[in-house]
Chains A and B, each alone.
Chain A
Amino acid sequence: MTVAVVQFGGSNCDRDTVQALESLGIEAERVWHEDGLPADVEGIVLPGGFSYGDYLRAGAMAAHSPIMDEVRDAAVAGTPVLGICNGAQIGCEASLTPGAFTTNESARFQCEHVHVRVENADTPWTRQYEEGDVIELPIAHGEGRFEIDDDRLETLEDEGRVLFRYCEADGTVTPEANPNGSKHSIAGVTGEEGDHVAVLMPHPERATLADIGVTDGQGVLEGFRAD
């Protein structure tokens, strides 16, 4: 059993994600997109980076690469899929998850640590936390503003599919704590096939290794641990 971290041309967080998963004792390997998913795949990460140079639109090209058909089939069959940053953009472009991530309100790339509040602790990605917990995660994106039409936004909220919301250190959701102008300060959502599919803009793999500081992201990656 292994977690496949799919490497597209231009992915750049694939090695980081494998390293973070392995530090938690979760077996993982990088899979070059043209090689297809391994037969024993038990989980899939669409990692961060600039797949296809973000040309056209962030995530748009990768969403149409052949391996995404395999990812979609696996998701339908119940395999956990997590899209991080550029992987989140790919997930939305591939309609695995609703909405889209678009240009930050600042119109600039932003690399910094933010606080997010756990909105639904009853998913594989958040069961290590309590609802309302505030955790610190790094972001690094130029196109992380979550956009979605109002009807579907309401459905998402009603169905408890918001994983994380940007917030102040004390958990208050404010416009100032929303780093990119995301609707309802949404940092991550679960997918159309169930909550085993999820995407988020912050980088849990950058908040996992204890020797460089923050470890609040471990709980997200723990979602791949076999029960």
Chain B
Amino acid sequence: MSLSDPDRELVTDHLGREPTQAEQALFENLWSEHCAYRSSRPLLGAFETDGENVIVPPGDDAGVVAIPSEDGEDTYIAMGIESHNHPSYVDPFDGAATGVGGIVRDILSMGAYPIALTDSLYFGDFEREYPRYLFEGVVEGISHYGNSIGVPTVAGSVAFHDGYEGNPLVNVACVGLTDSDRLVTAEAQEPGNKLVLVGRETGRDGMGGASFASEDLAEDAETEDRPAVQVGDPYSEKLLIECNEQLIDEDLIESARDLGAAGLGGASSELVAKGGLGAAIELERVHQREPGMNGTEILLSESQERMVYEVRPDDVDRVSEIAERYDLQASLIGETTEDGIYHCTFEGETVVEADAEFLGEGAPMNDLDHVEPAQPERDLPELDLETAFETVVGSPNTASKRWVYRQYDHEVQVRTATPPGDDAAVLSIRKAEQGLAISAGADPNWTAAAPYEGARAVGLENATNIAAKGATPLAAVDCLNGGNPEKSDVYGGFKAIVDGLADICSTLETPVVGGNVSLYNDSVEGPIPPTPTLTMVGTKDGYDAPPMALSGDGTLLLVGGTDDEPALGGSELLAQLGGSDRFPELPADPAELIETIAKVADFESTLATHDVSHGGLAVTLAEMVSDDAGVDVTVESPIALFDEQPGRVVVETTDPEAVREAFDGVAPVQELGEATSDGTLSIAAGEASLAADAADVAELRGVIEEEL
């Protein structure tokens, strides 16, 4: 791939001359879809990014929100999300590992200490060999990198869908802790400050990664594009975390940016452009791993575990000392300038001389056609309750993900009060005396069936996960994945998930403080389903949360949702058995619903809570039973068991009246039956009925562990 003719013309006009080789390469990468969001930025204005607690809105390395405190010393939460889709197809282990590394550095550059990771993973059919190979490799890569750097992976999602056969998705988010004294941004502060590059040596790895991420995956990508995949070193990343922490402790950093897509060229030009400044950089000063690199290679290498810092001239020596303490190299590569020109020389010769703002912001936006997606008609398959139950509860999509999170260290940093495997993880933020609930994911069945409604459902489901543990949403970051936007139906689906997610987040009054867009997730197998991964955090007083597992002593209520007829559009049942239906109706006022769920979750009388989502009520109940506690419930029809309308929670309570009162005028409350002490799941659904013991359920739910 090279700079397109129209872009080249624009650049030539702007410079008043032909671009140099280094400039061509720099523009090609910075103006790629991956860096410049040329097809998505026109849509992203739909998101509500502001709110009373927002400290740093989107546009920096990560977004920052405050957890308010009465003493005025607010705790800040930094959040970012990133996709590493194409690299993970070519090399699942390294592709996924470096995805973790990159998003952690985005958190470091805000002056924050990374405290949690979430991973949302999407693969082709679990029954097929290649998706399984990718799944195992990706999980191992995340495990290797995240565990080594001591950042717990506490939440996430895994989905299998034919649409990811030729193009898996790896969406990684990181959450960090900081405060007003420590906060740093990627906005250069003053001309005359020094630019210092800290971290691993620069080599010829990951050349052109940004443009590789901005085209469809070719059939031979696995062999041809391997050089575009970076190889990470978590040991260096851990040293960088410690080094960054000490630099922040000693107040030595004016601004910071991590080196990701488009390497040094991207990070340093964006840093100065954001501050309205320019830079003068001598590329040969960069510490290098291999000999004979030219200016273009140094400028665009995507070697991992590197940060660029703006440092006051008097502090440069101290920064180098601290880097050396952590066995990292630091190079003084140049300085910030007043003229707004991004100027790079290599061995005395000018290789780049362009307006910094034009580099970052000059790419023209794409005005693309879109076709509105249509809602399908109802065409339901024959439904035998027992078969349906076994098919859905035993599907890898709804099955236990213990095989995955057992490989992730989810307890390091001693904050994990509710571990993975529940609706949301809850971390103790002791300084603020608040529990931080974290939920992440999307459901391709939903957005494939109904992109707009499905994306709204994704937002509501993550909020419901948080509320089921007694917390209310604080903020979110999104990772919007789509296929080739030049196809109008694909772009129409993508536009619909952007609008749907934006609408639900704004209805929930949850600011979206950061995000990432990944397009061209298209291969010979066709485009992926539009996939709006969301990572949402919420807060609650204290760290205790009701468990998902039943105690066996209470009444079971289904709270939330709407009174609408059940519908199966987007359900796991139809994904497995075929057929189509409209997408379930979503509640009109979800904000009040979410608040009420959170309130009820923290009632003394609440014994257990679990949200209804993927797989419907059947899966929710199956996940709540154990050897010691079962359920005896009645619903109106089998369809009601598999309807996946989000915004609903099963509550086990000793005081049903208090729950009804809380939801009065807010949402319906339906009595399902009683929890029992015999470990049997007994369901009557209209004419049909079903009984399974805890061991049967565990076997169905253990399909991933069983097969791998």
Residues of B bordering A, CB below 8 Å: 140, 143-144, 147-150, 233-235, 238-239, 325-327, 405-417, 428, 430, 543
Q: Which of A75-83, A122-130, A205-213 contacts B (4 or more CB under 8 A)?
A: A205-213
CB of A212 within 8 A of CB of B428, answer yes
Chain A residues, Cβ within 8 Å of B405 = 111
The answer to whether residues A109 and B409 also contact, given A10-B235, A212-B416 and a CB cut-off of 8 A, is yes
Cβ-defined partner of B235 (8 Å) among A9, A32, A203: A9
Q: Could you jot down 21 A-B contacts, CB within 8 Å?
A: A9-B327, A12-B412, A20-B414, A34-B325, A48-B412, A50-B235, A50-B238, A108-B140, A108-B143, A108-B406, A109-B408, A110-B407, A111-B408, A140-B147, A140-B411, A203-B411, A205-B414, A206-B411, A211-B417, A212-B415, A212-B428
- Starting from the known contacts A9-B326, A209-B414, 15 additional A-B residue pairs (CB-CB under 8 Å) come to A9-B235, A13-B150, A16-B412, A32-B325, A34-B325, A50-B147, A50-B234, A52-B235, A53-B234, A55-B235, A109-B407, A112-B406, A203-B411, A205-B414, A212-B428
CB of A15 within 8 A of CB of B413, answer yes
CB of A213 within 8 A of CB of B409, answer no
Cα distance A52–B327 when bound, in Å? 11
Number of interface residues of A (CB under 8 A): 33
Chain A residues, Cβ within 8 Å of B325 = 32, 34
Chain A residues, Cβ within 8 Å of B144 = 109
CB of B235 within 8 A of CB of A53, answer yes
CB of B413 within 8 A of CB of A16, answer yes
Which of B150, B238, B411, B428 is most buried by chain A, counting CB atoms within 10 A of its CB?
B411
A147 within 8 A of B: no
The 8 closest A-B pairs by CB, nearest first: A12-B150, A53-B235, A50-B148, A16-B414, A212-B417, A140-B409, A109-B407, A111-B409
Residues of A bordering B, CB below 8 Å: 9-10, 12-13, 15-16, 19-20, 32, 34, 48-50, 52-55, 108-112, 138, 140, 142, 203, 205-206, 208-209, 211-213
Cα distance A52–B235 when bound, in Å? 6
Cα distance A54–B149 when bound, in Å? 12
CB of B143 within 8 A of CB of A109, answer yes
Chain B residues, Cβ within 8 Å of A208 = 414
CB of B238 within 8 A of CB of A9, answer yes
- Closest-by-CB residue of A relative to B148 is A50
Which of A13, A110, A205 is most buried by chain B, counting CB atoms within 10 A of its CB?
A13
CB of A12 within 8 A of CB of B428, answer no
Q: How far is the CB of B432 from chain A (nearest CB, A)?
A: 13
- Closest-by-CB residue of A relative to B149 is A12
Q: How far is the CB of B180 from chain A (nearest CB, A)?
A: 22
Q: How far is the CB of A146 from chain B (nearest CB, A)?
A: 20
Chain A residues, Cβ within 8 Å of B415 = 212
Cα distance A206–B413 when bound, in Å? 8
CB of B150 within 8 A of CB of A49, answer yes
Cα distance A112–B415 when bound, in Å? 15
- Closest-by-CB residue of A relative to B113 is A15
- Closest-by-CB residue of A relative to B414 is A16
- Closest-by-CB residue of B relative to A50 is B148
CB of A13 within 8 A of CB of B406, answer no
CB of B148 within 8 A of CB of A54, answer yes
Which of A19, A55, A213 is most buried by chain B, counting CB atoms within 10 A of its CB?
A213
The answer to whether residues A10 and B238 also contact, given A50-B147, A212-B428 and a CB cut-off of 8 A, is yes
- Closest-by-CB residue of A relative to B327 is A9
Chain B residues, Cβ within 8 Å of A203 = 411
Cβ-defined partner of A111 (8 Å) among B233, B327, B406: B406
The answer to whether residues A111 and B411 also contact, given A9-B235, A211-B428 and a CB cut-off of 8 A, is yes
Cα distance A19–B147 when bound, in Å? 20
Chain A residues, Cβ within 8 Å of B238 = 9-10, 12, 49-50, 53
CB of A138 within 8 A of CB of B411, answer yes
- Closest-by-CB residue of A relative to B153 is A111
Chain A residues, Cβ within 8 Å of B235 = 9-10, 50, 52-53, 55
CB of B408 within 8 A of CB of A212, answer no
Cα distance A3–B238 when bound, in Å? 23
Chain B residues, Cβ within 8 Å of A10 = 148, 235, 238-239
Cα distance A20–B413 when bound, in Å? 11
Q: How far is the CB of B339 from chain A (nearest CB, A)?
A: 41
CB of B327 within 8 A of CB of A212, answer no
Chain A residues, Cβ within 8 Å of B140 = 108
Q: How far is the CB of B236 from chain A (nearest CB, A)?
A: 8
Which of B233, B235, B543 is most buried by chain A, counting CB atoms within 10 A of its CB?
B235
Chain B residues, Cβ within 8 Å of A19 = 414
Cα distance A32–B322 when bound, in Å? 12
Chain A residues, Cβ within 8 Å of B413 = 15-16
Cα distance A111–B413 when bound, in Å? 14
Chain A residues, Cβ within 8 Å of B239 = 9-10
Cα distance A64–B199 when bound, in Å? 25
Q: How far is the CB of B705 from chain A (nearest CB, A)?
A: 11
Cα distance A16–B409 when bound, in Å? 14
Chain A residues, Cβ within 8 Å of B147 = 50, 109, 111, 140, 142
Which of B235, B412, B413, B414 is most buried by chain A, counting CB atoms within 10 A of its CB?
B414
CB of A53 within 8 A of CB of B150, answer no
- Closest-by-CB residue of B relative to A54 is B148
Q: How far is the CB of A17 from chain B (nearest CB, A)?
A: 9
Cα distance A203–B144 when bound, in Å? 19
Chain B residues, Cβ within 8 Å of A20 = 414
Cα distance A208–B411 when bound, in Å? 12
Chain B residues, Cβ within 8 Å of A54 = 148
Q: How far is the CB of B379 from chain A (nearest CB, A)?
A: 43
Cα distance A142–B413 when bound, in Å? 18
- Closest-by-CB residue of B relative to A17 is B414
CB of B406 within 8 A of CB of A206, answer no
- Closest-by-CB residue of A relative to B150 is A12
- Closest-by-CB residue of A relative to B233 is A53
Chain B residues, Cβ within 8 Å of A140 = 147, 409, 411-412
CB of A108 within 8 A of CB of B407, answer yes
Chain A residues, Cβ within 8 Å of B406 = 108, 110-112
Chain A residues, Cβ within 8 Å of B408 = 109, 111
Chain A residues, Cβ within 8 Å of B409 = 109, 111, 140
Chain A residues, Cβ within 8 Å of B428 = 211-212
Chain B residues, Cβ within 8 Å of A212 = 414-417, 428, 543
Cα distance A10–B240 when bound, in Å? 10
The answer to whether residues A53 and B414 also contact, given A9-B238, A34-B325, A111-B409 and a CB cut-off of 8 A, is no
The answer to whether residues A13 and B148 also contact, given A50-B235, A50-B238 and a CB cut-off of 8 A, is no
Cα distance A74–B405 when bound, in Å? 39
CB of B417 within 8 A of CB of A213, answer yes
Chain B residues, Cβ within 8 Å of A34 = 325
Chain A residues, Cβ within 8 Å of B149 = 12
Cα distance A140–B413 when bound, in Å? 12
Cα distance A19–B143 when bound, in Å? 25
Cα distance A212–B414 when bound, in Å? 8
